[in-house]
Amino acid sequence: MNLRLAPLLFTLLTLAACSQQQAPEAAAPATPAPAATTTVPAEAAPATTAPVAAPAAAEPEAPNTNPVVAPQGPAPVAGTDYEEIAGGQPYQPLDGKVEVVEVFGYVCPACASFHPAVSAWEKKLPADVRFTYVPAPFGPEWNPYAKSFYVAESMGLVKRSHDALISAIHVTNTMPGEGDKPDEKKIAEFYAGYGADPAQFLAQMNSFAVNTKIARGKQFMLRSGVSSTPTLVIDGKYRITGGNSWEDKLRIADHLIAMERAARNGG
């Protein structure tokens, strides 16, 4: 793709951001009906650099001993349940694992609605599957949270703060959401509760390293054909488009993971 055309194409894709046809069946911390946005992405912030104070070390994770379980329900149908991505590549290949990416936005109501189901599902994934978040910078309210995600990720804070931030935006309304004025300082102060220095966290949000990660996420979304959130992409090859509920969407993901596992094993 001509890189000069990428920003224009990404802008067009954002017109459908945070839109899904289905509503989840399970209870969720936010209104199930997704909210549409027509905001175009803001320009990348000027690059600055600043060291970030390291927060308290997270406890080591227990080894993953989840078994590989055969997918349930009918096999997904290409063109209906998923689209094959021509020339697709994983976002971040690692040790031969099958990658599952969720393109999401913290301010996206549909993503908040999807989160309980996908979070429970992620905990059951076997060791040969890796789950990765890619935040979508779909507009002024979205962009600060996308930047803060990458700073939190670099500090090892995502697992501890992710659920709480979603709740603060969509349940308690103590953090800015869609339609609110963006507030990078308030976001940095939120992460202070997890050991970050807020001034340094804020500076790092507008650093060259974070802007580079934002651009990399945009490129992944463009080549994967992602135009809404939440969207699941399996190993960079399959973009899930179907599902009558959040659980049904995850059923499709289970089948596509099994397909990719079988292809790697020559069967």
Closest to 55 in 3D by CA, of 157, 183, 158, 203: 157
Binned at pLDDT 50, 70 and 90, residue 251 comes out as very high
Region 160-181: mean pLDDT is 97
Phi, psi at residue 96, to the nearest 5°? 75, 10
In DSSP terms, which residues pair with 98 in a beta bridge?
129
Counting the structural domains of the chain, the total is 1
Q: Indicate the DSSP class of residue 86.
A: T
Task: Tell me, yes or no, whether 90 lies in a domain.
Answer: yes
Query: What band does 193 get if pLDDT is binned at 50, 70 and 90?
Result: very high
Give me the pLDDT at residue 94, please: 84
Whole-angstrom Cα distance, residue 137 to residue 135?
6
The average pLDDT across 174-184 equals: 96
Evaluate whether residue 51 is within a structural domain: no
Give the pLDDT confidence of 83-117 residue by residue, as tens digits: 999 999 999 988 889 999 999 999 999 999 999 99
pLDDT of residue 49: 37
CB atoms within 10 A of CB 122: 14
Q: What is the reported pLDDT for 17?
A: 55
pLDDT at 2: 45
Contact of 32 with 24, CB cutoff 8 Å: yes
Q: What is the mean pLDDT of the chain?
A: 84
Residue 4: the pLDDT is 46
Give the per-residue pLDDT at 153.
98
Evaluate whether residue 22 is within a structural domain: no
| Residue 185 counted as domain residue | yes
Instruction: State which residues form the domain around 234.
Output: 79-259
pLDDT at 43: 37
Report the pLDDT value the prediction gives residue 188, as an integer from 0 to 100. Answer: 98
Q: Is residue 206 part of a domain?
A: yes
What's the average model confidence in pLDDT over 203-218? 98
pLDDT digits (tens, 9 = 90+) for 130-169: 999 999 999 999 999 999 999 999 999 999 999 999 999 9
Question: Residue 209 is part of a domain; what is its CATH number?
Answer: 3.40.30.10
Burial of 29 (0-12, 13-18, 19+ CB in 10 A): middle
In a domain, 102, yes or no: yes
In tens, the pLDDT along 18-41 reads 655 443 333 334 333 333 333 334
Query: What is the rounded CA–CA span in Å between residue 40 and residue 17?
Result: 10
Residue 264 lies in a domain: no
Is residue 14 domain-resident? no
Cis peptide before 46 (omega within 30 of 0): no
As to burial, measured by CB atoms within 10 angstroms (0-12 exposed, 13-18 middle, 19+ buried), residue 118 is buried
